[in-house]
Structure 1
């Protein structure tokens, strides 16, 4: 497909029940494209139905892989195993279907994550010079990308979409909206917290990094995810890892101040590490999700001429709340 040409043909979405999956299937159906969904439930096909997946992929023009257990959980041994399994098994299933297809798709876009890069306060990470980090979350990302590129698929271009935090109605802003309205929308401050031997061994312990809400917050609006996939489909020169990140990241303090300003919440004291850890235990999540400094830029997209609908944060946050 040449640049600017409108895409047609069947789209297969694996992992269609999540935030991004629901958004994308609505978009493609509104455009008149045939959409086949794959999920554990409430989809056209279920994971494990390899024959059905093979038939859906054969003759499709675009395959999108989004499946995987949410990392918004406690990193218990059971959850860690499921985070790996849910990504690797579903990616292998799509790869097997493409391998067997008589008319394989021209493009396979598979989710990855910008968490693959190291904690970065000194400089931004790009596809060309970003440094891969360490720890459990990074190993998940690396394994996910290895699974995407494992098989020889000469007729199918592959893109690992290294997504940053996705803003939009139904995303991360929902819980923050409620917290900000009750006065808990302050910056999240890192600090010391004990890390057990088991967490050290598993790579799940977060060690103190940025001070006083200075950790970088890279993000992208859900509408730009749509547009990025369209752009990649129209630009056959783009392949490999692609950073799905708005060009103007902020720090955590600025992000939370923007949330409060848009909501009209004037009060929001900083949240210290100890309070964040206790809260994370209570709601069964991990503080790494808000304390790791993710400083990521969309080098490949910018070089190819992609223009973001939401390059700056406040309009993206405002639109997300207004749509809710």
Structure 2
């Protein structure tokens, strides 16, 4: 294991907390940055500069969750929270006399287009359109904007991360009350304002056929370790398990692992009403994300959880032991 200080920007979220536990258990020196409850706050640029100078690894995870309604205010904050924090880390690295060898920054596999025809890879994937894609593009552009010749940079294009918490908490509850069926796309009115903002989801996959790419949180942490140990890896890296499924298969696996026998399909109109009620967007479940880990596979990375049922079982076992 590579030694040296690790700086985590955006340490209070799902992934940040997981990484904190892992690195502290390994005895690595760790400095955390967050809006609250961390060693440093985002407004303390001098402190961030000092923490980054001499670090071996910087991990950028900060950004407002996209699990919200895409109001103008939320859209602005989704952009600002990513770009400002990434720029802060970049400025710290640029000013360091002993800059880190590696900077791994969050990105998202949502950068790729809605894909039902073939999987998206780093080399041949096609970039999509719309608000979520523009966020991802701007985030990566901020990562690579400055000239940092002594620091290798990796944009971790993460798929849906499974583990104790995150997306699986609500899905577990829905499945147990008989609402764990496949999510079916269909027609729904898209206003002019949503068309202009790129936030409207237009009908795509039929009857739960939208692809669902995923990765277990333990494997994301192992991917970061692997990237740290493999200097040939840089640029975009897909953090995705090698065997994605479709939405119907994913929800059937959730029900099977939980022992929920009943789960009728959920039509688009029900999903839209539910999304309004819980203040989220249906794009998060209806866009077909078909992503595979081309670079990691070529470099020899082996997933601990390559198949869905094992990843879900591990995730729900953890959930049960912590509930």
TM-score, scaled to structure 1: 0.98
Tell me how far 1:165 sits from its aligned partner: 0.1
Q: State the aligned residue count.
A: 319
Aligned residue for 1:273? 268
Aligned equivalent of 2:245: 250
- 1:64 lines up with 2:56 in the alignment: no
1:15 aligns with 2:14: no
Measured in 1, the distance between the counterparts of 2:48 and 2:86 equals 12
CA-CA distance at 1:7 after TM superposition: 1.0
Residue 33 of structure 2: SS of its match in structure 1?
Answer: strand
Note the C-alpha offset of 1:171. Answer: 1.6
Q: Quote the Cα distance in structure 2 between the aligned partners of 1:229 and 1:138.
A: 23
Matched, 1:295 2:290: yes
Match of 1:167 in 2: 162
Can you list the C-alpha shifts for 1:272-308, whole angstroms capped at 9, x where unaligned? 0000000000000000000000000000000000000
The answer for the alignment partner of 2:256 in structure 1 is 261
Matches of 1:177 and 1:126 in 2, distance apart? 30
- 4+ runs deviating over 4 angstroms: none
Which of 93, 98, 105 is matched with 2:100 structurally? 105
1:224 aligns with 2:219: yes
5 Å-filtered alignment, 1:32-71, equals 32-71=27-66
Partner of 2:194 in structure 1? 199
> What CA distance in whole angstroms lies between the structure 1 residues aligned with 2:304 and 2:296?
13
For residue 315 of structure 1, report the CA deviation from its aligned partner. Answer: 0.3
What residue in structure 2 maps to residue 211 of structure 1?
206
Task: For residue 161 of structure 2, give the secondary structure of its aligned residue in structure 1.
Answer: strand
The alignment partner of 1:129 has SS state of coil
Task: Quote the Cα distance in structure 2 between the aligned partners of 1:110 and 1:61.
Answer: 14
Q: Deviations over 1:110-158 (max 9, x none)?
A: 0000000000000000000000000000000000000000000000000
* Equivalent residue runs for 1:92-171 within 5 Å: 92-171=87-166
Determine which of 69, 78, 84 is the counterpart of 1:83: 78
Cα RMSD after superposing both structures: 0.3
Gapped regions of structure 2 (runs ≥ 5): none
What residue ranges of structure 1 are gaps of 5+ in the alignment?
A: 1-5
